[in-house]
């Protein structure tokens, strides 16, 4: 693609006088002054300018056009969902699931994992779960795994007893070691990629089980006020599946 999309070089060629395009442009110009539409973000843009431009586009296209959505949110939030999704830049639950602002209280971390209840570890996820369940009273927690997940690949590749390469990553993904053990025991003969694909879902199930170790989650589930749901987003084939945790 030639030329960038940023403002200075995105001018359309001026149509010749008398042409139908010129008439169209003239009639447009006679309308009351309108703000030019924000330009779509470009990869060539400065990183901060890209953010400003992205916000401007959102402000014009969405925020200013949907006061019925944004006005009530000024007073507070009452999301239906708590969503756990991977930090992977290719997985954006708001986009892929069409979730609107105010609909989902969201945590994103490596491989969308949830550690078991432990007041000395995993306090980031623990506090988010507690706030979502006890204060916001969400009715559904969804844990979403995804295709080609780097965290899952790392977990499956790790050799027992070998030194860690990262300060935090290996220790974090070990949360789902029980799922890795299961996949190794049942699917060792399958190619690595297929094992990863199975582990992506099995890891979600470990996180769903870990959720049940939080007393307030257990209680809300027992009272029928909270549903725990697993999900898998396959961005290679454009598929999304869900299952309810029993």
The residues of the shown chain that bind Zn ion, judged by CB under 5 A, are 86, 88, 111, 149, 151
> Is residue 18 classed as helix, strand or coil in its secondary structure?
coil
Report in angstroms how near the CB of residue 123 gets to Zn ion at its nearest.
Answer: 22
Structure tokens at 29: 């110009």
Q: Which is nearer to Zn ion, 82 or 204 (CB)?
A: 204
Which residues are annotated as part of the binding site for Zn(2+)? 86, 88, 146, 149
Report in angstroms how near the CB of residue 94 gets to Zn ion at its nearest.
Answer: 16
Q: Which is nearer to Zn ion, 203 or 226 (CB)?
A: 203
Report in angstroms how near the CB of residue 185 gets to Zn ion at its nearest.
Answer: 23
Find the DSSP H helices in the chain.
20-29, 47-58, 67-73, 93-96, 123-130, 150-157, 169-173, 177-187, 192-211, 215-222
Q: Which is nearer to Zn ion, 53 or 112 (CB)?
A: 112
User: Judging by beta carbons within 10 Å of its beta carbon (0-12, 13-18, 19+), is residue 3 exposed, middle or buried?
Assistant: exposed
Report in angstroms how near the CB of residue 165 gets to Zn ion at its nearest.
Answer: 17
Q: Which is nearer to Zn ion, 199 or 220 (CB)?
A: 199
Structure tokens at 238: 């454009």
Q: Quick one: three-class SS letters along 94-134?
A: HHHCCCCCCCEEEEEEHHHCCCCCCCCCCHHHHHHHHHHHH
Tokens 């969201």 found at = 106
């Amino acid at each position: 693609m030639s030329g960038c999309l940023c403002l200075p070089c995105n001018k359309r060629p001026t149509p010749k006088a008398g042409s139908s395009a010129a008439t169209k442009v003239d009639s447009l110009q006679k309308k009351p002054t309108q703000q030019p539409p924000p330009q779509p973000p470009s990869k060539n843009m400065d990183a901060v300018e890209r953010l400003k431009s992205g916000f401007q586009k959102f402000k014009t296209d969405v925020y200013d056009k949907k006061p019925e959505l944004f006005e009530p949110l000024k007073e507070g939030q009452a999301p239906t969902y708590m969503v756990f999704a991977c930090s992977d830049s290719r997985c954006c639950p708001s986009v892929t699931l069409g979730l609107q602002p105010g609909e989902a209280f969201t945590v994103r971390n490596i491989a969308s994992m949830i550690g078991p209840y432990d007041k000395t570890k995993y306090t980031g996820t623990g506090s988010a779960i507690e706030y979502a369940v006890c204060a916001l009273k969400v009715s559904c927690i969804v844990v979403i795994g995804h295709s080609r997940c780097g965290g899952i690949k790392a977990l499956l590749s790790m050799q027992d007893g070998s030194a860690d390469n990262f300060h935090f990553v290996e220790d974090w993904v070990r949360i789902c070691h029980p799922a890795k053990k299961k996949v190794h025991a049942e699917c060792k003969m399958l190619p690595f990629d297929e094992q990863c694909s199975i582990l992506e879902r099995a890891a979600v199930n470990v996180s769903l089980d870990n959720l049940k170790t939080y007393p307030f989650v257990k209680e809300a589930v027992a009272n029928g006020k909270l549903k725990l749901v697993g999900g898998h987003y396959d961005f290679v084939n454009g598929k999304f599946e869900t299952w309810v945790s029993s």
